Structure 1
Amino acid sequence: MVLLRGATVAAMASGSMQPRNLLVMSGLQLVTRGKVTWAEKESWLRNPPYTAVHPTPGQMEIRIKFGETAHAAKGQRGTRAITKGKKTGKIVPAVAAHIAENPLGLAPSRLDPELYPSKLRRTVHTLEELKEMYARKTGKAAPGPY
């Protein structure tokens, strides 16, 4: 998955590009088919997930642990082989090897999979909310069924 700037997708020049930490709020994700075997396209664009901007406590804990683990490798340069774990022997940047050798573990506040925000609410607006918004904006009932 890749975050893209809307300006890049539209091939338009911009006076100043948004920093990556703010890109998640206005950018697009390029998603590849991966294990979605029924997908007809190799890739498509979508909005970033809700938790990219509003992470759960467990996601924040893991991101903090990741940052601390990466910071502990500050100053390492070049590439080296991973010495333990599933990818033993793979040559990667030194900081990546340090992270691979020091697993992050599980977040103490992680959610049960049934409670993941993406399972509870997959879109910004539900169908019912869209119909209500349409009625408020136009003053008439939403069209349909199609």
Structure 2
Amino acid sequence: MVLLRGATIAAMASGSMTPRSTLVVSGLQLVTKGNVTWAEKEAWLRNPPHTAVNPTLGQLEIRREFGRAAKNAKGTKGLQVVTRGRAAGKALPGAAKTIAETLTGHRMPHSLSPDQYPSKLRRTIHTLDELELMYQRKLGATAGP
């Protein structure tokens, strides 16, 4: 998946682009077909999952570990062969190799089991009931005397 700016999708030049740090709130994801065998299109756009903005404790932990590993790998040069983990035997840029090996086998203390993933429990930021309530409020606010 890729996060894209609306200005990028529309191929428009903009004087001020959305910073990467806030892109998740206003951006779109370009999702490719992958293993979705029933999909007719090769790719489509969707809103980012709500955990992109409101990560779980386990997601925060792994993101923090990724950041630490990336900081420690800063300045690593050239392609290097990964020696352990799923990527073993692959030649990756030095920083990617360091991160891959550092995070191999890491299990964060607050990781969720797959049946507890927020995407399984709540797929979007707003539920249908919340959208209905928002719609009714908006209608009430625009309704005249």
Unaligned runs of 5+ in 1: 140-146
Determine whether 1:30 maps to 2:40: no
Change (3 A) 1:11 1:117: same
- Match of 1:45, SS? strand
- Match of 2:3, SS? strand
The residue number in structure 2 matching 1:114 is: 115
Give percent identity, aligned residues only.
63
Unaligned runs of 5+ in 2: 141-145
The residue number in structure 1 matching 2:58 is: 58
TM-score by length of 2: 0.86
* C-alpha distance in 1 between matches for 2:107 and 2:10: 39
* C-alpha distance in 1 between matches for 2:4 and 2:132: 30
Question: 1:5: Cα distance to partner?
Answer: 0.3
TM-score by length of 1: 0.86
* C-alpha distance in 2 between matches for 1:135 and 1:85: 52
Q: CA RMSD in A?
A: 1.6
Contact 1:57 1:109 in 2 (8 A): yes
Contact 2:49 2:125 in 1 (8 A): no
The residue number in structure 2 matching 1:87 is: 87
Change (3 A) 1:107 1:16: same
Residue type matched to 1:128 in 2?
Answer: D
Question: 1:115: Cα distance to partner?
Answer: 2.5
* C-alpha distance in 2 between matches for 1:16 and 1:134: 31
* C-alpha distance in 2 between matches for 1:85 and 1:118: 26
Change (3 A) 1:99 1:7: same
Contact 2:25 2:53 in 1 (8 A): yes
Residue type matched to 1:17 in 2?
Answer: M
* C-alpha distance in 1 between matches for 2:39 and 2:29: 16
Question: 1:98: Cα distance to partner?
Answer: 1.0
Contact 1:3 1:28 in 2 (8 A): yes
Question: 1:109: Cα distance to partner?
Answer: 0.8
Question: 1:104: Cα distance to partner?
Answer: 5.5
Question: 1:89: Cα distance to partner?
Answer: 2.4
> What is the count of residue pairs matched by the alignment?
139
Contact 1:65 1:104 in 2 (8 A): no
